Amino acid sequence: MKAIDFFCGGGGMTYGLRQAGINVVAGVDFDADAEATYVANNPGTRFINTDIGKLDVSFFEKEMDIRKNDDQLVMVGCSPCQYYSLIRSSKEKSKKSKGLLLKFWKFIDYYNPGYVLVENVPGILDNKKTVLPEFLRKLRKKGYTHIVQNVVNMKDYGVPQNRRRFSLIATRLNRELHLPEQTEAVLTVRDVLGEEHGFEKITAGFVDATERFHSTMKLSEKNLKRLKKTRKNGGTRLCWKDDPELQLPCYEGKDTSFLDVYGRMYWNKPAPTITTKFYSISNGRFAHPQENRGLSIREGATLQSFPSNYKFCTTSIVTAAKLIGNAVPPAFAKKIGEVINGR
């Protein structure tokens, strides 16, 4: 089987599908920052750096000999999902991403692949302005009568992280589909991080010059004081709410709101959702369970189920975190690829 991975980013979905025995012939993304990382970890798969809206629909037919009506072809569309995120934030910047699923549709309509695979945030089901119903109507009208879809949690599939996502597999072939079977064991932070797993103790602002990228963002003196007063293993900002030097005015009188902000992860629970800002303790429960720092790039990648030898080809913590936070966890991608590949 072969696949084309639209909105491929740094390659989480591509890597997992390849592990499942699917030949991903191309990845498409407009983010130039993703190319070096994608190519380094997925040799032989072509990275096409372009805006899907500007890509001629016949490109793959002309340039890569992709045939129409190929039962063995999978088209993957994990479009950017900020517009449908349930996080309360301005949607103005992300409006352009709202209709990307329909831009993906034109390639399905043209090539009529055997399979279609979509992954997005759960909000794509709830948002009143979602394009998902139109996308589903188009699929069914085109003959994709076997469709399985649901909101799943990555923690149920070998990913040590609470990460709820909408997943859909559709086929026009005469076969029943199902989403991957859930694994029996749920992995926790302790199962993958810490000194026993090769993550030596480091400090905030540590720079790892090796490909491992166990680097952390610097902390201000005040944030370092806050972390030192935050209880190990799951502590929150309430540990210093009564300290006038450390308390933030915006959280005064809000002891039951936004408790994940400045919080430490728990050792014995899956991590919270790894976002593109997981390196920052002010953006969620992203402080190390024990050490006085935020997560390192390699730790964030591990919590996303990237293997230890996955290279992030940049020296920028911000850029690497963007590629990691936006990715489909490879462990889940492999499982969904195995379903499609009949394994």
Give residue for tokens 């591509």.
14
Residue 81 catalytic? yes
Q: How far apart are CA 108 and CA 115, in angstroms?
A: 9
| CA distances from residue 135 to 151, 160, 174, 195 in whole angstroms, order as listed | 17, 31, 21, 47
| CA distances from residue 271 to 63, 172, 256, 286 in whole angstroms, order as listed | 42, 37, 20, 9
| CA distances from residue 216 to 188, 207, 287, 296 in whole angstroms, order as listed | 21, 7, 11, 5
E strand or H helix at 168, and its extent? strand 164-171
Give residue for tokens 């979602």.
130
Beta strand 146-153 with 164-171: parallel, antiparallel or unpaired?
antiparallel
The closest of 270, 322, 332 to 301, measured between CA atoms, is: 322
Q: C-alpha angle with apex 224: 223 to 229, nearest 5 degrees?
A: 95
Amino acid in the structure at residue 173: L
The pair of three-digit structure tokens given for residue 237, joined into one six-digit string: 């900002």
| CA distances from residue 8 to 12, 38, 151, 218, 285 in whole angstroms, order as listed | 8, 8, 20, 30, 27
Catalytic one of 81, 239, 250, 313 = 81
Residues with active-site annotation: 81
